[in-house]
A and B are shown apart, each in its own frame.
Chain A
Amino acid sequence: MASGPTTRRTFEPWDDPKSKPILRVSSVSKSYGSVTAVDQLSLDIHRGEFFALLGPSGCGKTTLLRMLAGFERPDTGRIELDGVDMTAVPPYRRPVNMMFQSYALFPHMSVEGNIAFGLKQEGLPAREIKTRVAEALALVQLPDYGRRKPHQLSGGQRQRVALARSLVKRPKMLLLDEPLAALDRKLREETQFELMTIQEQVGITFVIVTHDQDEAMTMASRIAVMDRGRIAQVAPPTEIYEQPNSRYVADFIGSVNLFEGNYVGGDGAPTMRCAEAGCDLSLAQPLLVAPGHRLWVAIRPEKLEISREPPPPGTLNCLSGVVWDIGYLGDFSTYRVKLDSGKIVSAAEANRMRLTERTISWEDRVYLRWVPQAAVALLS
């Protein structure tokens, strides 16, 4: 046992109490006039993480990132990088680099000139600058493009140059503000994986801003879901998806059916009384709240089982309704089912067979079931 490889297959420094975060944001606030862009926000990010800030437009992602880069000064709070207080340090003295959404490449400099710019500011010898620029260009797979001017590049190539320019200084942390927003869908997906590969190669901590949840789910080691200047939840993608801590997070990531009701105690079989569902919903675990407490059950569409056969009597968590709408998405079909209470519930089913004839059709009476473990009980 002791001699065998004991490497942890998973990368979870945030669960390791001995790991010291590389970035520590403590109760930072920033207002513009009457708008509070970032509100008492605290956050720890660990070395080597690929950290995503996710949230709807205007929730303060860019503002937070700009405070990390030093372009904005927080009104209150403290930003610590690697144990050093950065709150009042100007951007040009922070060991942090940013990749801008507009790329912000210097139009009057060649690709090489752009990438070398940051190294020149450090006063490195020309020889070293040359080799590091070449390395950076190789890293982003543009080895022969050094002489070109930015306007002679495609959007995807500019994006890579911007990445190379911000990585070449080997910052402690790289900030990326919607780095892929300007790319078309296919290129964006390719680039997502490339970014992940590059991040693994260089081992730099990445903090990426996005409002594309798929992007965050694909790339990030952890996601912070933001809501009006605050953090709603910080967790790895699977946890964010499977264990959201609030209706806001559950609703923001993917689609979800929410049932509102009141807690019914009971040691063995905790349930929720729910008028919308028309029956009591059984929960996976008892909750630490008093009976009668308001709560919500969140269940993802793909975790619902849909069928035309009535289940045997006494089946837990079974709803019945009429098919209202069917959406065919190729890989999935989604059914919108109108319950007897009038509530619409969506269920998704993988199309395992080639669809020649629908087994479930409009106006059919169907039954929806799920095991209690598939649902999450939410208190807020």
Chain B
Amino acid sequence: MTFGAATREATRARWAARASLILKPLQSALDAFPPSRWLMRRLDRRALKGRLLAIAPPYAWLLIFFLAPFAIVLKISFAEPDVAMPPYTEVFALIEDAGSFFLSIKLNFSNYLLLIEDDLYLRAYLNSLKIAAISTALALMVGFPIAYAMARAPRRWRGALVMMMILPFWTSFLIRVYAWIGILKNEGLLNGFLQWLGVIGEPLTILNTDFAVYIGIVYSYLPFMVLPLYAALERMDESLLEAASDLGCRPVKAFWVITVPLAAPGIIAGSFLVFIPVVGEVVIPDLLGGSDTLMIGRLLWAEFFSNHDWPVASAVAMILLLILVIPIVLFQRHQAARQEAAR
């Protein structure tokens, strides 16, 4: 114990020394800069210095990788398509007029109007939401028994089972979806197997239907459902079910009144983790779906790469984001509430 603590102390001291090698010159450079001194004094007074350093990286991350691209896409969504490079007109322009500069802002709302006027987009949004909702329900139905079996497996197997759940992630997503084409196509493995069994005479058309899309989505997103479910179920004390049975509750009912409520955090987390990305899914409907499988991600892809209409594509993306903000906020609220309850 003491040995471990001592080495940990030493390691920490060594890292602190290394960090100060970099930070010291930086700090002295900043200290030479009067506004920085002023700011630091203010921060010091509020004891914010250390905290600021700790919370800066995630905010910087958000700024660089989320807010900046968001601002760019938002800007493009108000532009007009143009035969140029990049293929849209500038929204902001600095105009010189008689020696003084003006900032001109030209906003073009027609991209958004198009989304309302052409019901293709509305149908695509609704269909995406429908497919996401159904896939989430399917993933829950498939994932729950898996997670339950994993959580009730002998303790020494559980780690391996979790690994098996994660393992497919180590190969390319695209390759795994392609593999499904090989399985589902008319002369594919599934049809071959069914015909060999004699269950069917003619091959079933599965590939290029909504059904294939559901298979692909449930397969690809299953770990996102199973892992939170497993975490919730594994924490559950099995004696609760015995207690329920002892108090006169049949096993099936106990499942609904004890197991499901206690797994609720996992159900909610898993459902959001599947639903949110599936709404914008492109690859699976493109590879496994039929030409009539309408999803907003495909439409967006087509606008960008086939039509080269970046402004409309950006507008589609903005509305998609707007739609998804609702479940994302709900999810965040739920997670925050859980953390609050856990304390």
Q: Is A100 an interface residue (CB 8 A)?
A: yes
Check B261 for interface membership: any CB of A closer than 8 A: yes
> Do B245 and A104 touch across chains, with their CB atoms under 8 A apart?
no
Q: Is the CB of A92 within 8 A of B249?
A: yes
Q: Looking at the assembled complex, report how far the CB atom of A149 sits from the nearest CB atom of chain B, in whole angstroms.
A: 9
Q: B236-273: contact bitstring with A at CB < 8 Å (1 yes, 0 no)?
A: 01011011111111110100001001100000000000
A176: min CB distance to chain B, Å: 12
The 7 A-B residue pairs with the shortest CB-CB distance, nearest first, are: A118-B247, A121-B248, A104-B243, A104-B239, A91-B245, A108-B261, A92-B245
A328 adjacent to chain B (CB < 8 Å)? no
Instruction: Name the A residues within 8 Å of B240 (CB-CB).
Output: 104, 106-107
Q: What residues of B have a CB within 8 angstroms of the CB of A102 in the complex?
A: 237, 239
B246 with A98: CB separation less than 8 A = yes
* A81 CB, min distance to chain B CBs, angstroms: 14
Residue of B242, B244, B245, B248 near A169 (CB, 8 A) is B248
Q: Are B246 and A97 in contact, with the CB atoms below 8 A?
A: yes
Q: In the assembled complex, which residues on chain B have CB atoms less than 8 Å from the CB atom of A105?
A: 243
Are B258 and A92 touching (Cβ within 8 A)? no
**The residue from B237, B250, B262 contacting A92, defined by CB atoms under 8 A apart:** B250
By a CB distance below 8 angstroms, the chain A residues around B239 are 100, 102, 104
Cα–Cα, bound, A102→B239 (Å) = 8
In the bound complex, do residue A97 and residue B247 qualify as a contact, i.e. CB atoms below 8 Å apart? yes
In this complex, the member of A71, A92, A97, A165 whose beta carbon has the largest number of chain B beta carbons within 10 angstroms is A92
- B248: A residues at CB distance < 8 A: 92-93, 118, 121-122, 169
User: Which chain A residues in 108-125 approach chain B with CB under 8 Å?
Assistant: 108, 117-118, 121-122
Is the CB of A90 closer than 8 A to any CB of chain B?
Answer: yes
Residue A299 at the chain B interface, CB threshold 8 Å: no
Give every chain A residue within 8 A of B251 (Cβ-Cβ).
92
| Most-contacted residue by chain B among A91, A118, A166, A169 (CB, 10 A) | A91
A-B contact pairs, 26 of them (CB 8 A): A70-B246, A91-B245, A92-B245, A92-B247, A92-B248, A92-B249, A92-B250, A93-B248, A98-B242, A98-B243, A98-B246, A102-B239, A104-B240, A104-B243, A105-B243, A106-B243, A107-B262, A108-B261, A108-B262, A117-B244, A117-B247, A121-B248, A122-B248, A165-B247, A169-B247, A169-B248
Which residues on A sit within 8 Å (CB–CB) of B247?
Answer: 92, 97, 117-118, 121, 165-166, 169
**Chain B contacts to A: CB under 8 angstroms:** 237, 239-240, 242-251, 253, 258, 261-262
A371 to B247, CA, bound (A): 53
The interface residues of chain B lying within 8 Å CB-to-CB of A100 are: 239, 242-243
Answer yes or no: A249 CB below 8 A from chain B CBs: no
- Is A106 a contact partner of B246 (Cβ separation < 8 A)? no
Assuming A118-B247, A121-B253, A169-B248, what are 13 further A-B pairs, CB within 8 angstroms? Answer: A71-B242, A71-B246, A91-B246, A92-B245, A92-B247, A98-B242, A102-B239, A104-B237, A106-B243, A107-B240, A117-B249, A121-B249, A166-B247
Which residues of the partner chain A approach B249 to less than 8 Å between Cβ atoms? Answer: 92, 117, 121
A106 touches B250 (CB 8 A): no
Across the interface, name the chain B residue whose C-beta is closest to A121: B248
| A69 contacts B by Cβ under 8 Å | yes
Bound complex: CA A165 to CA B262 (Å): 19
Determine how close the nearest CB of chain B comes to the CB of A67; give it in whole angstroms. Answer: 13
- Alpha-carbon gap, A93 to B246, bound state (A): 8
A191 to chain B, nearest CB (A): 20
Least CB distance, A178 to chain B, in whole angstroms:
13
Residues 64-105 of A contacting B (Cβ, < 8 Å): 69-71, 90-93, 96-98, 100, 102, 104-105
Closest to B240 in A: A104
Scoring B248, B258, B261 by chain A CB atoms within 10 A of each residue's CB, the highest score goes to B248
A287-317 CB contacts (< 8 Å) to partner B? none
Q: How far is the CA of A104 from the CA of B245 in the complex (A)?
A: 12
Q: How far is the CB of A295 from chain B (nearest CB, A)?
A: 46
B residues within 8 A CB of A98? 242-243, 246
Nearest Cβ on chain A to B39's Cβ, whole angstroms: 44
Instruction: Give chain A residues whose Cβ lies under 8 Å from the Cβ of B244.
Output: 106, 117
A214 CB to closest chain B CB (Å) equals: 26
Contacts of A96 in B (CB 8 A): 246
State how many angstroms separate the Cβ of B117 from the closest Cβ of chain A.
49
Of the listed residues B239, B246, B251, the one surrounded by the most CB atoms of chain A closer than 10 A to its CB is B246
Closest to B250 in A: A92
B250 proximity list for chain A (CB < 8 A): 92
Residue of A at shortest CB range from B247?
Answer: A118
How far apart sit A122 and B242, CA to CA, in the bound complex (Å)? 17
Known A92-B250, A169-B247: A104·B262 in contact at CB below 8 Å:
no
Tell me which residues across on chain A come within 8 A of B245, comparing CB atoms: 70-71, 90-92
CB distance from B236 to the nearest CB of A (A): 9
Flag if A69 contacts B261 (CB, 8 Å): no
Nearest opposing residue in chain B for A93, CB measure: B248
Instruction: Give A96 to B239 CA distance when docked, in angstroms.
Output: 16
Set of chain B residues within 8 Å of A106, measured between Cβ atoms: 240, 243-244, 258
Verify B261–A92 contact, CB threshold 8 A.
no
B242 — which chain A residues lie within 8 A by C-beta?
A: 71, 91, 98, 100, 104
B246: A residues at CB distance < 8 A: 69-71, 91-92, 96-98, 166
